[in-house]
Amino acid sequence: MASAVAGSAKCLDTYLGKSGLRVSKLCLGAMTFGENSFQVPGQLQEEGAHQLINRYVEWGGNFIDTANVYGRGASEKIVGSWLRGQERDRFVIATKVRSPMDPTNPNAVGLGRRHIIQSVEESLERLQTNYIDLLQTHAWDDAVPLEETLSTLNDLVRCGKVRYLGASNVTGWQLQKIVEITKQKDLNPFVSLQQQYNLVSRDSELEPFQVCKLNGLGVLPWSPLKGGFLTGKVQRDQPPSEGRLGWSAQDEKRNLQSSPSWSAINKDKNWAVLETLQKIAKAKGKSVAQVSLRWLLQKPVVSSVIIGATKMQQLDDNMAAGNGWELTAEEMKELDEVSKPETPYPYEMVWRVNSTRTNPWNPSPYV
């Protein structure tokens, strides 16, 4: 066991939503493996990626998240070549379907029956396994009837090629529609929602997470450190030149959700969040990144937080947020308040008029 891990608290596991599947509190995101489809620099190739996964496992991790579109299959291949030498049943492998895989083929995209089935077959081959633990729809697809998508996913579960289903990057009404149709047609329910969630991006608390709480879906936050901003390594009024945030900061046209432009991140409120994180981190003897991750881990709706790393030091620091210490109720409240998003109508009104309508037999889902 690596010295950095020896003697440290392991990353304990939890349930994925209301399913019976146990996953580690921190999930290793594999978007940094292989040549990335989004031209993000600093990707890991096979040898380095395998070393990173091995360290993650030493920390007690069992949950790896990838997608067919990451490197147009490169990430899945790297995960698969590692998985081939492991005891398969000890690990939970998640992947996704929906994104375009071949620009020259109009049917190689979306959530229609043909593309889903073909994508799953190809993912299984790249991952070198005969089943996917968690298959997630990577985004909504306006072009396909939801019934077609859900019935196809249900067939894949019934034939054993997929164990569980999840969604990613959806609105509240879209997720609620998924929930209702699966109930109406007695299909296998979704158990998770992978959504961007961090101290700078909390919009999903308004609707999607309320659906999750009411229906037992576990949230899997992606971009928990907002492209590196919430690590505390970025200085005010000094656009970074390195890392994911530095890459996007050099070109304002690159304003991805996971890699925001400098103008999108360089706001007074965001710096106030960072200052609060730095104060708490100093008081607890933790890194800013660890406090950022810990805030997410202590949210009841969260099952596991997806972290990405290209260096062992990054991974070790992030994994140390998983267990062995907690933020106090006062620290959580302080972070909640400084990062609190503006509450638009009708949410503010609905929550305000219900603030005194408490009924223990009908608990409020509000975050």
pTM over 0.85: yes
pLDDT digits (tens, 9 = 90+) for 289-325: 999 999 999 999 999 999 999 999 999 999 999 989 9
pLDDT digits (tens, 9 = 90+) for 58-109: 999 999 999 999 999 999 999 999 999 999 999 999 999 999 999 999 999 9
- Residues with catalytic function: 70
Cα distance between residue 316 and residue 4, in whole Å: 7
Closest C-alpha among 29, 56, 60 to residue 43: 29
Q: How many residues does the chain have?
A: 367
pLDDT of amino acid 82: 98
CA 78 to chain centre: 19
Between the CA atoms of 318, 88, 154 and 136, what dihedral angle is there, to the nearest 10 degrees? 20
pLDDT digits (tens, 9 = 90+) for 177-221: 999 999 999 999 999 999 999 999 999 999 999 999 999 999 999
Classify the phi-psi angles of 34: left when phi > 0, otherwise alpha if psi is within -120 to 50, otherwise beta. Answer: left
Bridge partner list, 195: 221
pLDDT of amino acid 260: 77
Low-confidence winner among 184-188, 251-255, 328-332, 349-353 (lowest mean pLDDT): 251-255
> Is the CB of residue 324 less than 8 Å from the CB of residue 318?
no
> Is the CB of residue 313 less than 8 Å from the CB of residue 55?
no
For residue 266 the two structure tokens come to 């360089």
Of all residues in the chain, what percent carry a pLDDT higher than 70? Answer: 90
CB atoms within 10 A of CB 114: 12
pLDDT digits (tens, 9 = 90+) for 118-163: 999 999 999 999 999 999 999 999 999 999 999 999 999 999 999 9
pLDDT at 1 over 50: no
Closest C-alpha among 55, 24, 22 to residue 315: 55
> Is the CB of residue 193 less than 8 Å from the CB of residue 220?
yes
